[in-house]
Amino acid sequence: MKQFAFLPSLLLLFLLLFSCREEEEKNLPRISWSEASARYRVHEGEKITLIPIVEYTDETSVYLWSMDGHVLSTATWFNYTGGETGEYFVKLTVSNRYGQTEDEVKITVLASETQVLPELPPSSGWKFPWTTINIAQGRSIKVKAYMTEGEDEVSQVYVGTSQGRHTVSLTTRLQGREVSQDFIINVCPPPGSYRRGAEGQALVDHIYEYMPAPGHQVNGYIIVGDAFPDGCTHQQACDTVLAHFSRRWSVSLGAEGGYLIAGFDHSVPASAEGYDLCIKGNPFSYQSEPGIIWVSQDDNGDGLPNDQWFELAGSEYGTGNETLEYAITYYRPRQAGSAIGWRDCMGQTGYVPYMGYWNPHDSYWQPWVEGTAIDDSLHTIERTWFGSRLRDRSTYLNGMSDMPAYDWGYVDNLGDFFEDRAGKMGYYRISQARSWDGQPANLQYIDFIKIQTAQTGSTPNLGEISTEVYYISDYHLEPETD
């Protein structure tokens, strides 16, 4: 029996050793990074600084940076300069009195692209988002011509007091000559005359327009491949978008102004306080690409989105961070692999960069997007997109981009992203709809929705800011989950 007298001592020793081992593991260095490692993309010759977040360091801690077994540095941070194109893995080893921890960072070195910057043609004058529209009786609308090159605003407010077809004319002087444009306003029966039942499917059932502005993710890119076939028609593009939504796959709206218009098989009611719309984007901690939401009722009952639009006011509405009544014109270049230039109604110019590594297509101007022919040796057509614009706040430092979110009210914006009835996505209220004068529109329901990219910014490694959409539905018809 004596041999068993040692068992309690052995058990105690085992427990002590196990406890010590557990304590050591608990106090080993922990390595993390402030941003996803996928952000570490640089061009040849470009320098970035890798700064880790390390927990449980003390006076005994040692840092060791290495690549392929070769020591690079023993500092707490590391400057990496892109060499030949390819993928590289930098290992960081951090030790303290309890042991060591390792972690790797993948760095993709891209070829330095010589950006073909476009020459912009002269401004082609004034432009109009519509020349014929339907509004409900009793509502008002602002008829406006968008000017470039510092021209004065030309606009007129029309109040739909009597039903029927009415004409409003705007006149101005352009380049020394007088020009005029007629606008047809069909005043329809009062709001609610063509309201449909509130039952149907949650997901939008029709894509009426898909008019993306130029962007390197519109026609697919290196990660997901082509989204649309070569020579795609507008109808084929719309059908593809709806098919993507049914699978919760993404579509890109391209740069500032790019949009899609979708419709429901029923009228979506406006709740008193709760949410009405579910829209999924894919924002990250370092990358929000906010899109503005517009809504509309079928005022003339023809089932088409040819009626007055109302903006859903987000956190920046009415502040210096948003420009209302904005227009931006893009110019399609002749040369393959060229950036696409733009000019806006404020006289500003810029370009959507060509990102050959991400998308090697000859051009980011889509084949179904029509425009107006212009007489210029470098360009064939131009097209103007209309909407509102949010101030660009993107930055680029040490090979990493940061596109911060706004507080709330925008698609593909981290400020609106949370878990609710339809899963993790954005949730929105029809009660936020505003008329052209900034006043609440007091809509009782909607039939159509438009989402529009709302920033003009871009960064060298992520390209242009372009809102992405995965899903649009009626919140009220989404099944409740436990």
Q: pLDDT digit string (tens) for 413-428?
A: 999 999 999 999 999 9
Residue listed under structure tokens 């639009």: 309
Judge if pTM exceeds 0.85: no
pLDDT at residue 8 greater than cutoff 70: no
* Mean model confidence pLDDT for the chain: 88
155 vs 139: CA distance, rounded Å:
17
- Residue 25 token pair: 């593991």
pLDDT digits (tens, 9 = 90+) for 118-170: 788 877 788 999 999 999 999 999 999 997 655 567 899 999 999 999 999 99
What CA–CA distances, in Å, run from 271 to 149, 173, 196, 437?
43, 47, 16, 23
User: Measured at the alpha carbon of residue 383, what is the angle toward residues 472 and 236, in degrees to the nearest 5?
Assistant: 45
By CB neighbour count within 10 A (0-12 exposed, 13-18 middle, 19+ buried), where does 19 fall? exposed
pLDDT of residue 450: 98
Let me know if domain 27-110 sits in CATH 3.10.20.30: no
Of residues 105 and 263, more confidently modeled: 263
**CA neighbor of 276 nearest in space, from 172, 198, 384, 379:** 198
Task: Identify the bridge partners of residue 255 per DSSP, sorted by sequence position.
Answer: none
Determine if residue 71 is left, alpha or beta; phi over 0 gives left, psi from -120 to 50 gives alpha, anything else beta: beta
What SS3 class is residue 219?
A: coil
Size of the chain, expressed as the number of residues it contains: 482
Of residues 205 and 76, more confidently modeled: 205
* Positive or negative torsion for Cα 215, 218, 223, 228: negative
Exposure pattern of 310-322 as b/e (b: 16+ CB <10 Å)?
A: bbbbbbbbeeeeb
- Whether 210 and 216 have beta carbons less than 8 Å apart is answered as no
159 vs 136: CA distance, rounded Å:
10
- Whether 475 and 423 have beta carbons less than 8 Å apart is answered as no
pLDDT of residue 34: 65
User: Measured at the alpha carbon of residue 365, what is the angle toward residues 231 and 371, in degrees to the nearest 5?
Assistant: 90
pLDDT of residue 36: 47
Helices (H), ranges, 5-90: 7-26
User: Measured at the alpha carbon of residue 103, what is the angle toward residues 102 and 108, in degrees to the nearest 5?
Assistant: 145
Exposure pattern of 234-260 as b/e (b: 16+ CB <10 Å)?
A: beebbebbbebbeeeebbbbbbbbbbb
Confidence of residue 376 (pLDDT cuts 50, 70, 90): low
Helix (H) / strand (E) element for 234: namely: helix 234-246
Mean pLDDT of 440-455: 98
Mean pLDDT of 232-250: 94
pLDDT digits (tens, 9 = 90+) for 164-200: 999 999 998 877 788 899 999 999 999 999 999 989 9
pLDDT of residue 10: 55
Confidence of residue 396 (pLDDT cuts 50, 70, 90): confident
- Residue 314 token pair: 């987000």
pLDDT digits (tens, 9 = 90+) for 209-232: 999 999 998 987 665 667 787 789
pLDDT at residue 18 greater than cutoff 50: no
- Residue 317 token pair: 């509405």
304 vs 263: CA distance, rounded Å:
9
CB atoms within 10 A of CB 90: 20
- Whether 219 and 367 have beta carbons less than 8 Å apart is answered as no
E strand spans, 400-453: 400-402, 417-420, 423-428, 433-434, 445-453
Half-sphere exposure of 328 (CA within 13 A, CB side): 29
CA dihedral angle for residue 146, residue 149, residue 152, residue 155, rounded to 10 degrees = -10
By CB neighbour count within 10 A (0-12 exposed, 13-18 middle, 19+ buried), where does 177 fall? exposed
Residue listed under structure tokens 């006043």: 439
E strand spans, 175-233: 177-188, 206-211
385 vs 363: CA distance, rounded Å:
18
E strand spans, 357-416: 372-376, 379-390, 395-397, 400-402
Residue listed under structure tokens 């290992």: 91
341 vs 119: CA distance, rounded Å:
7
